Amino acid sequence: MQKKYWETEDPIIVTANKNVLRFYPVAEKLSVARPNWVDDKGIERPGKTVTLDISALLESGAGALYGASELFEEIMQRIDRRLDLIGV
């Protein structure tokens, strides 16, 4: 049985206040999860997660690629504005 990418690749992890981003460059996946939580047995569990399949996105037509590019550009502009506000 072939192992899953999250079992074989160490992601780049960014932990924010209400999200955990995990980027798997080799697998071309970006997961966005709610924060980890602790179950009733004291075991830390990952929050609910969705994954963007970047390789599938890159196989899309020009319209989808252009739309995704605009979306990520908008996100980057917001991040940059926030960094300016906090003086970084």
Class (C level, CATH) for 5-85: mainly beta
Residue 55 CA to residue 51 CA, distance in Å, equals: 12
pLDDT of 8 strictly over 90:
yes
Residue 75's alpha-carbon distances to 70, 80, 84, in angstroms, are 9, 9, 14
| pLDDT tens, residue by residue, 32-60 | 999 999 999 999 999 999 999 999 999 99
Residues 6+ apart with CB under 8 A from 49: 31, 32, 33, 34
pTM for the whole thing?
0.86
For residue 10, which of 34, 37, 29, 32 has the smallest C-alpha distance? 29
